Structure 1
Amino acid sequence: MGIFSRTRDIFAANMTELLDRSEDPAKMIRMIILEMEETLVEVRASAARSIADGKEMRRALKRLEDLQSSWTEKAELALSKDREDLAKAALIERQKATDMAEGLRAEIDQIDETLKTYEADISKLQGKLREARARQNAIAARLESAVTRAKAREILHGGRTEDAFSKFDVLERRADFAEGRADALGMTGPKSLEEEIAELQASEKVDAELEAMKAALKRKGD
């Protein structure tokens, strides 16, 4: 396919319609962008060749114009020396240079028109590329958002989340039981009669020992 045909197809392409028909919009838009980038490179390369050709032709045109001036001077010199035959031959050569120069001017004009077409095509291709890349970014953002929302819904409504919360309930019940045991160990009930009598006896014994210690200290002091 020629470069101009490919470029015109890209200009005529409706990206929205292409994406609607595609089973994989992200893949389709990557292909569209790749095609545009390749075409843009080819258009720029062709434009560069045309610019180079135009410069070469302009140099050749300048040489032909100088040649025309040179033959004109030679014809005038021949006429000044009464050599009409030489003057005529010089004018014939000048005409050849003139014809070649006119042909070059026509080619240069054609190259200039082609360059204008290239310039317009490059501008349009860049616009299409910006549109395609914007679509690509929008599609990527939508896909990322969809994946994120799907994960969030799976967390909120999925079976794994329910299992996790049911395990939390079991752990909380275990913690309640452990705290209950600790509280139970610290509990004390009412004292029995024997326990109360035993405490009194122990207290009496301590008091007797205390009195004995006080008496001993007093004797030492006396």
Structure 2
Amino acid sequence: MTSGSTQLATWFNGPVFSRARDIFAANMTELLDRAEDPARMIRMIILEMEETLVELRSSAARSIADAKEMKRAVGRLEELQIGWNDKAELALSKDREDLAKQALVEKQKAAEMADGLRSEMEQIEQVLRSYEVDITKLQTKLREARARQNAIAARIESAVARAKAREVMHGSRTLDAFAKFEVLERHADFAEGRAEALGMTGPKSLEEEIAELRAAEKVDADLEAMKAAIAARTK
């Protein structure tokens, strides 16, 4: 196997094709089900896809450049074959069969080199077809991942909003606040009850009523004495 063929085999089995195959085989739903943070997981998937797509296109560009260079080399080798053939004919016309054989040997070498390059060009064409298929598949997966990313982002945003609302309604802080409100309401009820109790007057006992009568009699007696003293002074 030539060095070019070895390089092509390396490309086929290299990290770019390996990563691309992994991505093509990946089931997005299964990946997201296993992920603790689906949004972060899909961002990582998209980033890896974008990086792999860039690498695939770069590798394809290098393969295209290699194929063009090989095509130019094949053209030069074909011209070289024509040149050695002409030289062989010239040598033979001059009865220099030995030189004609040497020229034909060089022509054969050029032909073998050209055939080797053509074989490698065919392999590069296969690589390029693989790149084209992989790039198309990867672009499809990338669109799918981006669509999932938008859907997941919307779902997470909605879930966070609902969680906040439920936390406000049923969370510990809200429950603690309402518990404090109830304590304050009980304090207010107690204060109001105490104030009302202070303003209440219950029924008088018998002793209290008799004591009030005696006090009233004394006040009446003092009042009559005061009237009599005033009348005596005026006379």
Within a 5 Å distance, the mapping from 1:9-20 to structure 2 comes to: 9-20=22-33
User: In the alignment, which residue of structure 2 is the partner of 1:147?
Assistant: 160
Whole-Å Cα distance in 2 between the matches of residues 90 and 23 of structure 1?
A: 72
Whole-Å Cα distance in 1 between the matches of residues 52 and 143 of structure 2?
A: 14
Are 1:53 and 2:66 counterparts?
A: yes
Q: Please report how far the alpha carbon of residue 7 of structure 1 lies from its aligned counterpart in structure 2 after TM superposition.
A: 1.1
Range moving further from structure 2, 39-48 or 91-100: 39-48
Whole-Å Cα distance in 1 between the matches of residues 115 and 47 of structure 2?
A: 42
Aligned-residue identity in percent: 75
Are 1:8 and 2:12 counterparts?
A: no
Which structure 1 residue ranges, 5 or more long, are not aligned? 164-222
Which structure 2 residue ranges, 5 or more long, are not aligned? 1-13, 179-235
Match of 2:80 among 67, 77, 86: 67
User: In the alignment, which residue of structure 2 is the partner of 1:31?
Assistant: 44
Within a 5 Å distance, the mapping from 1:54-203 to structure 2 comes to: 54-150=67-163
Aligned amino acid, residue 121 of structure 1? D
Whole-Å Cα distance in 2 between the matches of residues 84 and 24 of structure 1?
A: 80
Whole-Å Cα distance in 2 between the matches of residues 154 and 87 of structure 1?
A: 96
Whole-Å Cα distance in 1 between the matches of residues 170 and 117 of structure 2?
A: 78
Q: Deviations over 1:55-82 (max 9, x none)?
A: 1111111100000011111111122222
Whole-Å Cα distance in 1 between the matches of residues 135 and 156 of structure 2?
A: 31
TM-score of the superposition, structure 2-length normalised? 0.63
SS of alignment partner, residue 51 of structure 1: helix
SS of alignment partner, residue 23 of structure 1: coil
Over aligned residues, Cα RMSD in angstroms?
2.4
Aligned amino acid, residue 93 of structure 1? E
Whole-Å Cα distance in 2 between the matches of residues 23 and 59 of structure 1?
A: 54
Are 1:44 and 2:69 counterparts?
A: no
